[in-house]
Structure 1
Amino acid sequence: MKALVISTAAPDATSENQTGSTNWTLRLLRLLSYNHEITLLAPPPLDEPFLKQAAFSIIECPPDNHFGKCARFIKSLRWKIYPSMWHQRSSKIERSLAEATGDSFDVCWLLDDYAGMYLREVPRNLPIVFCRHFVLNMGLPVKSEERNLASIIKLGWHRRLATSFDRWTAKHSNITVVGTEESRGNLHSLAPDAKIIYFPTKPCYLPKPIAAKSILRSKRADKRIVAVFVGDMSFPRNEDAVDWLISKALPLLSEEEISHFHFKFIGRTNKEKMENKASAGNSSVEFTGFVDDLSSHLADAQCTVIPVFGGNGVRIKTVTLLGSGLPAVSTKDGIEGLPIKNGVDAIIANNPKSFAEGLRQMLDVNKRKSLAANCRIAMASFLSEDEDANEIMRISEQAIKANF
């Protein structure tokens, strides 16, 4: 099956520039490559090792942002396209779509949210699968933090465009793919007749299992248990998660209990800002920033914390943590869609009191050992590429059928 594949960000799961979104984009591309003959249109840098070794066609399409500010405003209003998307616009992709025909390809996959701005330019007889990483209307605040008129008007304008974009793209795509059930419910509320498929987000490369002995014993000189959180803390939801953990859950632990933990937060962050949030007393908190070798940091950990709320976005890091077998204390939202049983594969806690109690359980070596073993088994089949590749093929076939 011939697939025209469009991404507005370079697929990336290995460099410092990677995000959960670029990681998932690369996984989707890998899955498509199993059963599709791909022509990929994407911006540079296309340095990911998988892309350099790929047997399919890759056309580098740098963004050139050739629309002026006034033109972008008018086109956003007319075409219902979110304003920031224009900065990733590529005239080379425009020309490629103008030349494409339904005879050249069997299906078109738009691999990220911003690629939706090309939806109207895809040939009408070419079925479209649109992959949503982050449903726009779900990520905007209801009220502006700045109470001046200009900020209120700007937020209202962005909310209107976000909702319009989410609605019309769901209606005009043959199939929309989302990574969370909450995202699917949101889009169904905007476009009840649209075909929305839940396809859980997963890391491009399988996480390296953590050795059992590492989970049982800390390598630190002070013997504190290392509890890791992995995520881009410049992203509001992750910053809020860390703030909630430090300000709400950790204060419920006793001084003795907190003295047994070292909390390590891995990922891009404003280090000074986040360290100011750290509690005093016997707490031990570290913000590493981006790390080149995540596996080595996870190998030093005895457990993980996933205090995230909200069902929108890409949860690559969560799946990586659980797939590696780290015992976890997580909110329900943090493990949504994963084959995880509370108390068996992980500890699920939705409020500060229960989260603190989950951390207390992590002080029990046998509990950590049990959770780790069960979690590895639960996640093994979930992370299989073969079945996911077959599901991607079925989605393409459904899109073709829906287009007739």
Structure 2
Amino acid sequence: MIKPKILFVTPILHHPPIGGPTLRIENSIKAISQISELYIYSRVAVNGMGGNMAVEFYKTYCHHLYFAPFVNPQSNSFKKIQTLFFRMINKLSREIFKKNIFSIHHQESEKDYQHLLAIASTIKADIIWLGCGNISYPLLKYIKDNSNAKVVLDTDSVWSRFILRGLPYAKGDKQYQQIYQTGQEKIAEENWGTKLADVTTAVSEIDAEYYQNLANDSRQIKLFSNVIDLESYQLIPPMPKGFKNPSIYLAGTFGSDSPMDDAARWVINQVLPIIRRKIPNIHFYIIGNGSDTTLSDIQDPQITITGKLESVLPYLCHVNVALVPLRFESGTRFKILEAGACKIPIVSTTLGAEGIPVTHENDILIANEPDDFAAAILKLINDQELAEKISTNLNKLIQQYYSINSLVKEGQEILAKLLN
């Protein structure tokens, strides 16, 4: 049987994965490569995706790896000097005006989009698959306006929910209005984008229901879940030097006023003091891109904030409890999938576990208030039998529903819909 040709287009790409979005993209590529003749079109430069090692890694999964023109390295020395000059001016501007004057990020143009369509035509692609579809609506519109290509818009969440769930946590009227306006703009994109794409993917039944209400035909919406490659979690790495137990762990991508920043501060300010009354020497590990910047004001010898790491596993595999204390977010959590793969018990808020069929006290502990959240952590640390039961059951659930093989089956259903 001849496999369909897929041009997988992504604005996020990195190896090894350094967070949920890069983990989703990598595992999507692993699954799609099994059911298609795969070509990758990177909207990320070589140095941004992890260097030549990353290039060679992704080449093992595709027939060819292309790069968008706007991410090609600039050999022009004037361009480099100009960028350094802009950065210097921006630094002064931030000190005086609290904002940048110049944008030094690469910007995609119509010429870049034309290049993408030219590649699709050259390889005779049957499908253009837009990874990180939530931020690819302008590209979707261009493709549909200028070609007859079948397009999969691959979403990792309902982005408008991600934004608007932050409204209760806005700091003042100005931020409230900014969040509201941005959320409404994203709702508008989701409305026309879901109708325009041949298939829009959803990571859970909850997200699928949202997109089905926007689609021309509910059959346009297909599941394409967040999964993990279980083989990547078989070897337990040694614990970091100076690692301390008993310990709790939080990992993600951080930024000012982000869901992860809010989650970390909620634990530090409201949950951790309760735990310390029972376990004074508890250690809290906070890991992830931007954590060391957004939480730079936290000075506590019993809190370790690492910033971005090449791998979270040396920490995750040796903690007592992993936390998912999210109060606003959307999608499904790789934090739960990774902890489950490593057989580490989890305490999560209801929202943190959204979209994953976990059951309180069977494969996870759910708590939404500081007292309850702290009590759940203490229960898992003090009751080893319960911790083993929770972590073992979650591991079984991950193996059954959230493996690469599961994603392959979902991908086959998408191809059947598009190619029949």
TM-score tier (shorter): 0.7 to 0.9
Q: Partner amino acid for 1:198?
A: L
Cα 1:106/1:328, change in 2 over 3 Å: same
Which of 330, 338, 346 aligns to 1:312? It is: 330
State the partner residue of 1:394. Answer: 413
SS at 2:407's partner residue? Answer: helix
Which of 116, 130, 136 aligns to 2:153? It is: 130
Task: Return the offset for 1:373.
Answer: 2.5
State the partner residue of 1:351. Answer: 369
State how 1:216-295 maps to structure 2 within 5 Å. 224-234=245-255, 236-253=258-275, 255=277, 257-271=278-292, 273-274=294-295, 276=297, 284-295=302-313
SS at 1:335's partner residue? Answer: coil
State the partner residue of 1:81. Answer: none
Assess if the C-alpha contact under 8 Å between 1:250 and 1:258 holds in 2.
no
SS at 2:371's partner residue? Answer: helix
Cα 1:103/1:373, change in 2 over 3 Å: closer
Matches of 2:106 and 2:211, distance apart in 1: 23
State the partner residue of 1:171. Answer: 195
1:33-79 Cα offsets, whole Å, 9 max, x none, are 101012222132254253132341222114369xxxxxxxxxxxxxx
Task: Return the offset for 1:208.
Answer: 1.9
Matches of 1:200 and 1:145, distance apart in 2: 33
SS at 2:392's partner residue? Answer: helix
State how 1:139-154 maps to structure 2 within 5 Å. 139-141=162-164, 142=167, 145=171
State the partner residue of 1:334. Answer: 352
SS at 1:264's partner residue? Answer: strand
Q: Partner amino acid for 1:95?
A: H
Cα 1:205/1:234, change in 2 over 3 Å: farther
Matches of 2:114 and 2:9, distance apart in 1: 13
Cα 1:89/1:323, change in 2 over 3 Å: farther
Matches of 2:294 and 2:66, distance apart in 1: 41
Q: What is the aligned-residue RMSD (CA, Å)?
A: 3.6
Which ranges in structure 1 are unaligned for 5 or more consecutive residues? 66-83
Matches of 1:145 and 1:187, distance apart in 2: 30
Matches of 2:414 and 2:395, distance apart in 1: 28
Asked if residue 199 in structure 1 is aligned to residue 217 in structure 2, the reply is no
SS at 1:317's partner residue? Answer: helix
Task: Return the offset for 1:89.
Answer: 4.8
Task: Return the offset for 1:287.
Answer: 0.8
Cα 1:289/1:102, change in 2 over 3 Å: closer
Would you say how many aligned residue pairs link Structure 1 and Structure 2? 371
State the partner residue of 1:63. Answer: 70
Please give the TM-score of this superposition, normalised by the length of structure 1: 0.78
SS at 1:130's partner residue? Answer: strand
SS at 2:33's partner residue? Answer: helix
Q: Partner amino acid for 2:57?
A: F
Cα 1:210/1:261, change in 2 over 3 Å: farther
1:192-247 Cα offsets, whole Å, 9 max, x none, are 74522233212356442587x99xxx9978x7411111111227111111122222
State how 1:50-129 maps to structure 2 within 5 Å. 50-63=57-70, 87-89=107-109, 91-97=111-117, 100=120, 104-113=124-133, 114-120=135-141, 121-122=143-144, 125-129=148-152
Task: Return the offset for 1:333.
Answer: 2.3
Matches of 2:312 and 2:362, distance apart in 1: 26
State the partner residue of 2:97. Answer: none
Task: Return the offset for 1:94.
Answer: 1.9
SS at 2:107's partner residue? Answer: helix
Task: Return the offset for 1:106.
Answer: 2.3
Matches of 2:339 and 2:371, distance apart in 1: 23
Matches of 2:217 and 2:287, distance apart in 1: 41
Moved more, 96-105 or 335-344: 96-105
Cα 1:269/1:152, change in 2 over 3 Å: closer
SS at 1:246's partner residue? Answer: helix
State the partner residue of 1:79. Answer: none
Cα 1:108/1:270, change in 2 over 3 Å: closer
Matches of 2:315 and 2:179, distance apart in 1: 39
Cα 1:199/1:285, change in 2 over 3 Å: same
State the partner residue of 2:87. Answer: none
Assess if the C-alpha contact under 8 Å between 1:210 and 1:299 holds in 2.
no
Asked if residue 21 in structure 1 is aligned to residue 13 in structure 2, the reply is no
Asked if residue 385 in structure 1 is aligned to residue 407 in structure 2, the reply is no
Assess if the C-alpha contact under 8 Å between 1:249 and 1:353 holds in 2.
yes
1:156-177 Cα offsets, whole Å, 9 max, x none, are 7644432221111100112101
SS at 1:177's partner residue? Answer: strand
State the partner residue of 1:70. Answer: none
Task: Return the offset for 1:272.
Answer: 6.2
Matches of 1:302 and 1:99, distance apart in 2: 49
Matches of 1:136 and 1:86, distance apart in 2: 23
Task: Return the offset for 1:267.
Answer: 0.8
Cα 1:187/1:318, change in 2 over 3 Å: same
Cα 1:361/1:160, change in 2 over 3 Å: closer
Assess if the C-alpha contact under 8 Å between 1:330 and 1:349 holds in 2.
yes
Cα 1:233/1:10, change in 2 over 3 Å: closer
Please give the TM-score of this superposition, normalised by the length of structure 2: 0.76
Matches of 2:303 and 2:358, distance apart in 1: 28
Assess if the C-alpha contact under 8 Å between 2:343 and 2:392 holds in 1.
yes
Assess if the C-alpha contact under 8 Å between 1:136 and 1:162 holds in 2.
yes
Which ranges in structure 2 are unaligned for 5 or more consecutive residues? 73-103
